[in-house]
Each structure stands twice: as C-alpha cells, then as structure tokens.
Structure 1
Amino acid sequence: MSVYVIIGPLFLLVLAGYWKLFEKAGRQGWEALIPVYQLYIMLKLTERPWWWLLLLVIPGINLILCIGILVDFIKSFGKVRVGQITMSILLPFIFIPKWGFDKSTQYIGPPGGDDFKNKYGKNRAKSATRELAEAVFFALLAACVIRGFFVEAYTIPSSSMESSLMVGDFLFVSKVHYGARLPITPLAFPFAHNAMPYTGARSYSDLIHLPYFRLPGLTDVKKGDVVVFNYPMDADSPFYRPIDKRDNYIKRCEGTPGDILKMEFGQVYINGNLIAAPLNAQMEYQVRTQQPGKVFDPDTRYKLHLEDIQRFTKVDYTLNTTAASAEKLRAYPNIKSLRPDIKLTGVYDPDVFPHNPRFRWNEDNFGPIIIPKKGWTVKLDSLTLSLYKRAISVYENNKLEVKGTDVFINGKKTDSYTFKLNYYWMMGDNRHNSEDSRFWGFVPEDHIVGKAVFVWMSWDAKAPSFNKIRWNRVFRLIN
C-alpha cells in the first residue's frame, strides 16, 4: 500500500479543520486551501506583518515561521495551554479538525488584541514581549521535533541528480516513511548539521555516543526511491565524523538488500532484469558537428539543459544532457552525429569500487555484485574481502585482519561473516556526473535519513531573465 493512501486522508483532515476555523474567524473556508495565501490570511487574523511571508524562501527559517504562525493562529481561538499548542503542532490531523468542528471553539481575536488580553491575562503589561518569547520558544521546540522525527527541508547543491532534481530545488524529506532515526550524537547545536554557519567550526560534541535505533516506519527503502543518507566515507580521515553528522547526500536507490546488481553499457540490471533509467536522467554524449564555429549558443544551452560542454577538436564536443534533449539536439542542422559516451567493458577504472584491478570495472560496466542483507553469510576469500571488508570493519565495527591466507575477525580465525545490517546501492540520475556507490560502495541502513517527497520551491540562478523561479517545479512530487 502506498504511504500516500495514509498521508492523503490525514492531510485532508487538516485542511477541513482549517476551513472551519477560517469560517469561524469570518473568512471564506476555501481560503484555507490555497498554499501561501492560507498563511497570509492567518497573519491577517493574528495581526502579524504580511512581509513575514518573504522569509518563506529561507530554508530552516521557513519551518520555524510556519510553526510560529500556527501557534499564533490557534491562540486566537483560545488554545493557549502548553499541551494544546504542543498537540496542534505534533498531531495537527487530530486537533485542527477537532477544534474546527467543535462548536465551543470560537475566534477570540488576535493574541495581542483587547478581547484576548481581557480573557487570558490579568496583568498584560509585559504580554507582548512574553508572547513573542513564547512563540519563538514553541516554534524552535516544535521545529526541532518536526525536523528530527517528521520532515526536514533540504536544498539541492549539485547536479548529481539532474534533471530529476535540479540545482536550486528546495525539497522536503520525510523521516516518517522509513522511520525516524533517533539521534546518535545528541550534544549538538540546533539546526546546524556538522559545522557552524560562517565559521565552519564543528557544531557537535562526541562525548556522548548513543546506539543506533530507528522508529517504525511506513515502508522500507524501495528501488527507485530518492533517498537522503549520510555520506559513508566521512567515517574516514580527515573528518572521522559520527554517523548522523556525516554529510547529507541524495541519490536514487538502485539496489536493496540481497539484490544482485550489474551494469552493462550504462544500463542497470537487478537480479538479471533490466531496470529502466529514470525519465529525466542525464548522461554524457559525444557530439560531432558539421563545421567549426559557434554551435551551442546560450539560448540552446539553457533550453535543452546542456551541461559540462567540452571541446576536443574543432568539431568534436562532449556534453551532459537528458535523452529527450539529445534527440532534439540531434535534429539541429550543424550536428553530424551524437551518441552516448559509454565506456567499454573490461576497461579498469581505479576510482571505481572496489579499487582492485582484479575487478576490471568502470562506471558504465560493473558487477555482478551482491548487496549485503542482514543475516546473509558471505564466504571470505581474496575476492569477497575486496568487496565487503569495509562493511565488516568500518560499518559493523569489527577488527578485521588478514595474515597470509587467513582471515581474523575480532581476533578469531574465520572463513565467513554474517552481516548485522542491511545495505543499499545508491546512484545519481546524472550518471556521468555523480559520486555514488559505484565509487565508494554500499550505504548501511543506519546511514539512511529519509525519503525525498516533494519540491516546494525551485530557484534557477542561471535563468536568462528576472524570473528565476521554476514555476513548473513548485509543489511537485518527486518520482
């Protein structure tokens, strides 16, 4: 069953509650259904400045602001107790419709208004400062809870997922889907991941290190999911970061625990079955033009989303784009030929996992390789050790030693190992411009952060006009 079958009705319950509350406040109920405009009306009803809406484009601030607006809004209906405020934030699908349809709940007025002051405070001389402090406190507290256990905002900084996700996309990542991971490094500065803004100083202390634990989720990680996870290689020098403080990466899951993965000429096969490439996936193409000269003008580059254009001879180029854009470019009059720049089989790339010349793999031709599954036992030999030694020693915290032809794990000689964690294979949709599992291997389950669910804003810094917002991507579900 799709998680949207569960989330959809809950979302409709919240909207129904807002509809009734808007009507109680003398507004039209339909105004609660329009994104952003809904917040504007809530600001009017609480007598807060409209320009607060401009802060919605700032990641992190937008979440705190939305919670602050909600706190003010429910206060205007007399819901001022700590429990009421907390429940409206954590369980809005219960309490917002409950108050909306409850006849005893009525609109009192803005929290700073006389009616509100007369009913909820004898001495309100210092209420403005106190209410502001309370609003900020609840907003910060709720933002920490929501960010840690429900949903978190991210920005796409690089082109590794182009054109499925684009540089400048602002998206929400659900932690409910796979189950929220409890903090492993709890002593940390709020809203800073692993470094403080501007200074770059470390934002956490590793004096306390808690064991990995994940709350129950709505679903498992599935092939095709766009997943945010902690970068496994941050366990190494120079960072040696704890799991939850390793950099956040976003890729598409191509293989799940127990799968046999193989790549041939850029195509992914799972358990022997060809997996279709993502619809908007990009790759590198070789282009030969009819004659030298100006071939890719700025308008063509932007319209067809041509990236990383490099010229090798007077008529030969390479570039990154989607298959659809490549077909359009092929029809241009000065294009003589265009074909994917796919590496040949058997050509060894030392940058590709497992960095062993006995595996003559490259980014387009790879495997087969078995993705470890919890409870799976692998026989250890000179070949399998190259594939799984990092998972055994680094991710599962074992001391692994090889003495001649003998393998020792935690001081005991053995010829096999049973995995304690599930692992995943993550790849970027921009297949020739992505640092992913092909280069550093498996992603352990304790590194999984959440599922990318939708883009709420998209900003195109390269747009050739003043209209930098990609309106066709705003509030767009991620496939």
Structure 2
Amino acid sequence: MNWKLNFKRNPKTEKAKKSKTREWVDAIVFAVVVATFVRGLLFSAYAIPSGSMEGTELTGDYLFVSKINYGPRVANTPLAIPFTEPVMYGIKTYWDALQLPYLRLPGFGHIKNRDIVVFNKPDEAGPEYNIPVDERTTLIKRCQAIPGDLLAIVNGQVFINGKEAPNAPKQQTSYTVVTTGLNINPDVMQDLNISIRQQLAPDTFEMIMPESAATTLKGYSNIKSITPVIAPAGTYDAEIFPHNEKFKWNLDNYGPIRLPKKGWTTPLNDSTLTLYRRAIEVYENNKVAVNGKEILINGKKADSYTFKMDYYWMMGDNRHDSLDSRFWGYVPEDHVVGKAMITFFSTDSTQNIFNRIRWNRVLRPIN
C-alpha cells in the first residue's frame, strides 16, 4: 500500500511574513540590547578629557575600560537612554525616580595598588548635588592606596605602609626652570613632553615634565637651573582634604591617613571625625551630629564606627595638574566603574588633519 501525503499551506493559519521595516526595527532593538549589555556589564569606551594622567595617558586618548576585572556594577538608574551623557542640553537622560541599591557582580579580582581605574567623581555626592552614583562625572586616576593602607606623601613621594611607592614611568610634576634668556626649541619641548604652566619672571618659568625630561634639559646650555616645585611640609592648603587647619597638609606633603576598609572599626574623636565624617555621613548614609563632646550617629551616642564599604586613594600621574583624592578624599567602592585596559585610538587636536592621529598609541596596553 502506498501512502501519499500532501501537505498544503493554510494561508489562514500561517504567520504573516515580517515586513522589511519590522525586520529593521527588530535588528536595531537587538543591537541596542546587546550593546547595552556589553557596555553595562563587560566593557565601555572612555575618552581622556584632561591632562591629569599625562604622560601615561594623553588628552585625546580613547580607552577600553573593563568592568569584569573588578566585577560589573549593576546600574543604580536602570531607566536611562543608552549611549548618552547624563545631561544633554540641560535635560536628564535618565529617570531617577527608580534607583536600585548598590550591587556589584563577581569579577576576576580586586583593585590593586597602581592600577589605573575609572570611577565616578566622589565630590558630586551629597544632597546639594542629588545625582545618582552611576550618573556622576567619570574620572580616571591611578590607585595609590587600597583599603587598610596607610598613605603618606613626603616631598611629592608617595609612601604606602611606610614604604616608598614606585612612581609611574612617565609621571610628571612641576619644575622651576631658569634660562639664560634664550628660548627652548619648541620641537625639543614637544619631544620631551614639556609644557609651560606659567611664566614667573622674564627668564623663569614653571614647567610640567617627567623626571627624565628634567634630567635631559639640565644638559642644555641655555638652562641655568631646574628645581622641583614642592610645597613645604607643615603648610596648610585649604583646598586639600579634609579642609581643616588641624591637618596642615598640601599637595606634596600629606598624611599619614588610613584608608577605610569594610569591617574596620575606628574610634571616634575630633580628629577621626574630621577625616572620616564624609564617608560615614555621605557615602554610607548616616546622620552625624556633634553635641558638646558627644558624637551622635543616627541619634545615638557613638564612640566608634565600623565601615560598610572599602575605600581607595586615587591620584593623577600629572601630580601638579590633577584634581584627585588629595582634594576630595577617598573613593568609595560603589563609585568604581572599571579598570583601564587598552588605548584603542588617540588624536591630538593641536595637530593638522594629516598628523592628528597618534599612530604610536593605537591599540596600546595601559600600565
């Protein structure tokens, strides 16, 4: 017996084919979802906006930032327009009525001393700003101290737990340069990565350069002297954290200060409250008050405080041209975005169109 099966399509039950427009819409939606997932949990791109990390990273560098190294941070504001700045043309691109608590997924490791880290700006925290953590300005700096470290800066040199910390190979700072009256060749200055910060006298300049450039420049016949610019120890700078005259600290002579660590308990007194009040009150959301000699946390007398988060100390490699932890203190763990991994592209806006791309920095690992 032969069986012959004849299947015919039923136009009433067969689903209609998607239109070309619908196919394009579906493809775009899929691409946005995938890109948002990758950007939110795996990698993101970041452009260097200023010279605070020169000469390690230059203005005009474009980086890939890994979020999986330290663990992807779940967005505080999940309802936001992807691939936009937090505020555009004066309008927020996110909806802050829905905010999720801080949550970080497991990563490959933890921040280490000397890592180059992208993070949200801590001094935009507080009720006066009212900006969710993940919508704050992003910065890039080098981590000098991790939770539990004791940090000090002596004559511009960082010390961690009493030991001199290695400097970045291309770290820069300011020097007072006295010339014989003859100008330095601009090509020499560009080759040595030297910039003039200000002119102090007809033949005297404050210049920013790496130590290696200062050593080279000393050998030029039109240079009388080169002296590092160092703020003397014991000189109080009101711009420097914790902005209190009890701590006569400045850019080049700072600390010692202990970085808070999750689970670490510090006694509370006038000095420790000055150093840690912002972390306790702003970053860890407690109400702090002082009643005579008593310190109150959330209305209760407190003789000590145990921290809920880890904190980091971030500084720019361009030491005298960087707004960093010396100005606004430690960086809470919930502000950390990720680790800078590779410079994938770089442009120099001061050059003409033919020389604008810095080819020697394309696909360059960051360290």
Report if the CA contact (8 A) 2:126-2:282 is conserved: no
Distance 1:306 1:200 in 2: 37
Distance 2:31 2:221 in 1: 58
Q: How many pairs align? A: 354
SS in 2 for 1:167: coil
Distance 2:340 2:90 in 1: 26
More relative contact order, 1 or 2 (CA 8 Å, 6+ apart): 2
- Among 270, 274, 287, the residue aligned to 2:160: 270
Report if the CA contact (8 A) 2:177-2:225 is conserved: yes
Counterpart of 1:158?
50
Q: Tell me by how many angstroms 1:300 deviates.
A: 2.8
Counterpart of 1:344?
232
Distance 2:277 2:343 in 1: 38
Instruction: Check if 1:435 corresponds to 2:327.
Output: no
Distance 1:282 1:360 in 2: 24
Report if the CA contact (8 A) 2:196-2:205 is conserved: no
TM (normalized to structure 1)? 0.71
Amino acid of the structure 2 residue aligned with 1:195: V
Q: Tell me by how many angstroms 1:296 deviates.
A: 3.3
Instruction: Check if 1:139 corresponds to 2:27.
Output: no
- Among 80, 86, 90, the residue aligned to 1:188: 80
Deviates most, 299-308 or 346-355: 299-308
5+ unaligned residues in a row in structure 2: which ranges? 1-14
Deviates most, 182-191 or 167-176: 182-191
Q: Tell me by how many angstroms 1:184 deviates.
A: 0.9
Counterpart of 2:139?
249
Instruction: Check if 1:381 corresponds to 2:273.
Output: no
Instruction: Check if 1:228 corresponds to 2:91.
Output: no
TM (normalized to structure 2)? 0.93
Amino acid of the structure 2 residue aligned with 1:205: W
Distance 1:227 1:467 in 2: 29
Counterpart of 1:306?
194
Q: Tell me by how many angstroms 1:439 deviates.
A: 0.7
Q: Tell me by how many angstroms 1:308 deviates.
A: 3.7
Q: What does residue range 265-414 of structure 1 map to in structure 2 within 5 Å? A: 265-291=155-181, 293=182, 295-414=183-302
Report if the CA contact (8 A) 2:73-2:103 is conserved: yes
Q: Tell me by how many angstroms 1:302 deviates.
A: 2.0
1:103-158 Cα shifts (integer Å, max 9, x gaps): xxxxxxxxxxxxxxxxxxx988944x444333322221111000000000010000
Distance 1:189 1:298 in 2: 45
Q: Tell me by how many angstroms 1:463 deviates.
A: 2.9
Q: Tell me by how many angstroms 1:254 deviates.
A: 0.3
- Among 303, 309, 312, the residue aligned to 1:424: 312
SS in 2 for 1:312: strand
More helix by share: 1
Distance 1:442 1:471 in 2: 35
5+ unaligned residues in a row in structure 1: which ranges? 1-121
SS in 2 for 1:300: helix
Distance 2:111 2:85 in 1: 23
Distance 2:128 2:300 in 1: 30
Distance 2:345 2:322 in 1: 23
Amino acid of the structure 2 residue aligned with 1:169: D
CA-atom RMSD, angstroms?
1.8
Over 3 Å counting, the alpha-carbon distance change for 1:356 and 1:456 in structure 2 is same
